[in-house]
Amino acid sequence: MRLFFALRPDTDAAARLADVGAKLDLQVPGRRVHPKNHHVTLAFLGEVPDSQLALLERAGRSARARRFTLAFDSLEYWPQSQVVVAAARESPSELLRLAAQLHAATGLPPQRLRAHVTLARKMAQAPVLQAIPTICWDAVSFSLIRSVTSGAESAYTVVHTWPLLDEM
């Protein structure tokens, strides 16, 4: 199964990201990500045998980070992955700590994470992007998510969600 750890937006952030995604003028062929699939990837595991699930759940359970707020303040085109993203200029240290713990606990190499939500994929060229109002997202939990791809859009199922901490 294909799995990744991610943050899912709260209701308010989800609505505002959906609005930004809908208003995105793609200009060139590309595929808008369905709002129900908006997320911030923390650690991408890829195809994992079923036997690894218990280890991944242990990794999620053992990660310890405080709650934090993300502020998505720009739209960017990332040519390497051919995506348009809503990006956060600042990546809070608690976000980096959480992602680093998940990478370490699952044996993934450390990765430089820049908080982003992918809004459109398969963009061979850069569209002209507008400024956006800052979207604040209070991260209070993170999830292990299973992705099943059949057709254009992946279907995500939450396998497990763990709370972030008030205090440490």
Binding status of residue 82 toward ligand 2AM by CB under 6 A: no
Interface with ligand 2AM (CB under 6 A), residue total: 5
The least CB distance from residue 166 to ligand 2AM, in Å, is 27
The reply to whether 4 sits near ligand 2AM by the rule CB under 6 A is yes
3-state secondary structure the chain: CEEEEEECCCHHHHHHHHHHHHHCCCCCCCEECCHHHCCEEEEEEEECCHHHHHHHHHHHHHCCCECEEEEEEEEEEECCCCEEEEEECCCCHHHHHHHHHHHHHHCCCCCCCCCEEEEEECCCCCCCCCCCCCEEEEECEEEEEEEEECCCCEEEEEEEEEECECCC
Q: Is 147 in the site for ligand 2AM (CB under 6 A)?
A: yes
Tell me how far, at minimum, the Cβ of 99 lies from ligand 2AM, in Å: 11
User: Toward ligand 2AM, which CB reaches closer, 78 or 132?
Assistant: 78
For residue 146, the minimal CB distance to ligand 2AM (Å) is 10
Stretch 9-48: interaction string toward ligand 2AM, x if CB under 6 A: --------------------------------x--x----
Closest distance of CB 165 from ligand 2AM, Å: 24
State the distance between the two ends of the chain, measured CA to CA, in whole angstroms: 33
> Phi and psi for 145 in degrees, rounded to 5?
-125, 140
Maximal CA-CA distance, the chain: 47
Given 91, 101, 106, 118, the residue binding ligand 2AM (CB under 6 A): 118
Q: How far apart are CB 7 and ligand 2AM at their closest, in Å?
A: 10
List residues near ligand 2AM by CB under 6 A.
4, 41, 44, 118, 147
